[in-house]
Amino acid sequence: MARSDDKAVRTWKKTHDSAVETYGEGARAHRAAFASLKHTHEKTGDHWEPKAKAGPSDAQAAKRAPQSLRNPSRTAEGVDANASVAHLREVARDLDIAGRSTMKKADLVEAIKKANRRATAAARTM
């Protein structure tokens, strides 16, 4: 979060603080904060960037919050899986993902998730 813009940080903190009041400190509050953040931002490398259009980033994020927080399932990890293939290729280009021009949408999402994990891990060791 520290490498993200101020709006991303404010969104996460405000939602997290509210969720802590409702659910208490822990994983559920963190999931609520990230669910909120994923409606306005997408994960790119080691930081969150504003999305062109607000809305759910994947099928899990589109679920009603109380149900999805109680029964979490796999997510796109902040990648905007609902974005166009052209947008995903642009993100993949920014992350220097090889073979992006021939990848299908699902493959692009997986490749971006992988690149994001690597970038975040690298940033944490600095």
Query: Which residue ranges make up each domain of the chain?
Result: 6-124
DSSP 82: T
Which pLDDT does position 118 carry in this prediction?
94
- Residue 2 is encoded by which pair of tokens? 């520290």
CB 23 within 8 A of CB 31: no
Query: Confidence band (pLDDT; 50, 70, 90) for 3?
Result: confident
Cα 66 to Cα 76: distance, rounded to the nearest angstrom: 19
The residue with greater pLDDT, 126 or 86, is 86
Note the pTM of the prediction, 2 decimals.
0.76
